[in-house]
Structures are given as C-alpha cells and as structure tokens.
Copies of this chain bind each other. A is one copy, B any other.
Amino acid sequence: MTESLENWLESSVAWAENAMRAAMDPMELGPKSFAEALRYPTFAGGKRLRPCLVRLINHEMGGRDADAESPAVAIEWVHTYSLVHDDLPCMDDDDLRRGKPTTHKVYGEATAVLVGDGLLTLAFELLANRGGPNALDMIAVLARAAGPAGMVGGQHLDLSAEQGGVNTDGVREIHRLKTAALIEAACELGALAAGASAAARQAARRYGLALGLCFQAVDDCLDVTGQATDLGKTPGKDAAAGKATLVADLGLDGAQEEAGLRAAEARVAAQEAGFQPQGFALGLVDWLLSRTH
C-alpha cells in the first residue's frame, strides 16, 4: 500500500462528487428554479463518508469503482436530504451547515422541505434506473436504513429525547438508528455492488454498524471539545438544546471510552471480514476516532 489514507479519502471525495454530477446531470430535475435549489445542498461540500465507504467496501470485496457509483451517489443524496430536513426551523433550526447558510435560509422553508423530498426520491430513481441483478436489494437496504426502522425513526427519538428521561441505552439506540443505520447500509451497499456473498454482506454490516456508532460517539465528544472553525458549526449546541448525548450521560471521559470500544469492535469486524490488514478499512477507524470535525 503506497497511498496514504488521507490521499485516498481526498481522491474518494472527488470521485463521489464526480459521480454525483454524472448521475444528476442527465436526470430531469423539474422547474429550473427547483433544479438550482436541489443542487445547492448536494454540492455544498462535506466529508462524503458514506459514498467513500461504499467505494471502500466494494473495492475490498473485489468490485470495480464503476459498480459502486450509483449506490454511493444514492446514499449521499439520502444523507443530504436528511441534513436539509434536520436543519429546518421545526427540527434542529440551524442557520449554518459547513459554514454556509442552510437550504431554508437561502430558498425558504417550503422549498427546503421539497428539496429534501426530491433528493430522497431521486436516490431511489437512480438505483431503479441502474438496473442489474442487485438493484432491488440495494433499494431495500437503503430504504430500510433510511426509513422509520432506521434514520427517520432515530431522528424522531432524538427529538423526543429533548424532553429528558433517556438513559445510556436510550442514547445508544438513538445513535444506532439516527446515524449508524445509514453507515451500516453504506457498507452493505458496497458489498452488494461487488456481488459479495450473504456472509460477506453480513460482515460488511457488522463493520459499518460499529464504525457508525464510533462516529456518533466521537460527534458527541466534538460538540464539547471541538472548535467552531473546525466544525463549521457552533460547539455546545447539543448541550444547549438539551439533546440526549453520551457526554451528557457518561461525561466526556465515558463518551470517549465508548468511542474507543466501538472502534475496537470495528477493527475486529474488519479482520473477520477479511479486509486488508494494513488497508483503509482499518485506517479509517483510527481516522474517525481522532477526527477534529
């Protein structure tokens, strides 16, 4: 392995953004003013973690990059829609996302609701148009992870938890649904793109779930320890909003310990899945654990 993880991530972000453009350009995006609003949050930057994971797992399981494009794009559009809706005044009420005005600040609330709806719908249209033997499985995996039994249900729990009364297990359940379900799905989509076996799909899911829980535990810590300039948002916002977080429940040390445990689980899962011992799947665990934004 000659390429560094940082270089690989950088090239994967460019790959994901190129794939998003190539996928969106030929699609009919409706009225011109709406198409413009759709593109705004889609190409507003970000870590592109989920498409990077689709690419990574597909590669680890023997697939070509081209096979991973549609699922990588679809899951990033689902993630993007969820951010647009989460930022709405009736949800988390955020004016800034990655240092830029949120979609509803630029285009108004009604358009932001519709942009989210549109991106979610386009994600499924893209996978349906992809075709191929695994397209239906991909749609089922993505829908399940994004829907009531996954991300959307987790967001509901998260908002309900602001009333208080949530213990550590409750916070873990929120994290599993709200964040880890989609990261788990990214890894399973990578396995599906590579045409992997059912057992390999399962191994990819275990890695993704642990990685997703680690990611969200670190997120909770960064709300306390992060710098606004790194995060592109105001630190301390979760605490101020009375959010149920691991830090609120276990303290910063406890939350960092939890992140470390999830990272260890992800490393074990990566080994069991047969990922390269010095490869990016393992490197990514440490990178996520030590990230500052």
Q: Which residues of A contact B (CB under 8 A)?
A: 27-31, 33-35, 37-38, 81, 85, 88-91, 108-111, 113-114, 116-118, 120-122, 124-125, 127-129, 131, 135-137, 139-140, 143-144, 146-150, 152-157, 159-160, 177
Checking B90, B114, B155 against A155 with a beta-carbon cut-off of 8 angstroms, the contacting residue is B114
Determine whether the beta carbon of A148 is less than 8 Å from that of B122: yes
Q: Can you list the 7 inter-chain pairs with the closest CB atoms, starting with the nearest?
A: A30-B153, A125-B143, A28-B149, A90-B109, A30-B148, A121-B147, A128-B140
Q: How far is the CB of A29 from chain B (nearest CB, A)?
A: 5
Smallest CB–CB gap between A34 and chain B, Å?
Answer: 4
How far, in whole Å, are A146 and B150 apart by their CA atoms in the complex?
Answer: 22
Expressed in whole angstroms, the Cα–Cα distance for A122 and B147 within the complex equals 6
Using A113-B88, A156-B34 as known contacts, say yes or no to A148 and B121 having CB atoms under 8 A apart.
yes
Is the Cβ of A146 less than 8 Å from the Cβ of B121? yes
Chain A residues touching B, majority SS: helix
A147 engages B118 (CB within 8 Å): yes
Q: How far is the CB of A134 from chain B (nearest CB, A)?
A: 11
Once A114-B155, A153-B30, A156-B34 are accepted as A-B contacts, the answer to whether A122 and B136 lie under 8 Å apart by CB is no
In the bound complex, what is the Cα–Cα distance between A70 and B113 (angstroms)?
Answer: 27
The chain B residue with its CB closest to the CB of A143 is: B125
A118–B160 touching, CB < 8 Å: no
16 of the cross-chain contacts (CB-CB < 8 Å) are A28-B149, A29-B153, A30-B149, A30-B152, A30-B153, A30-B157, A85-B114, A90-B90, A114-B155, A120-B120, A121-B146, A121-B152, A125-B140, A125-B147, A128-B136, A128-B140
Determine the chain B residues whose CB is within 8 A of the CB of A136 once the complex forms. Answer: 128, 131, 135-136
A31 to B85, CA, bound (A): 19
Cα A145 to Cα B31 in complex, Å, equals 14
Complex contact A148–B35 (CB within 8 A): yes
How far does the alpha carbon of A137 sit from the alpha carbon of B125 in the complex, in Å? 10
Residues from chain B with Cβ under 8 Å of A131 in the complex = 136
Query: In the complex where A34-B153, A118-B152 touch, is A110 in contact with B90 (Cβ < 8 A)?
Result: yes
Check if A148 sits within 8 Å of B110, measured CB to CB.
no
With beta carbons under 8 angstroms apart, the residue of B31, B81, B121, B139 that contacts A156 is: B31
From A89, A121, A137, A150, residue with most partner B Cβ within 10 Å: A121
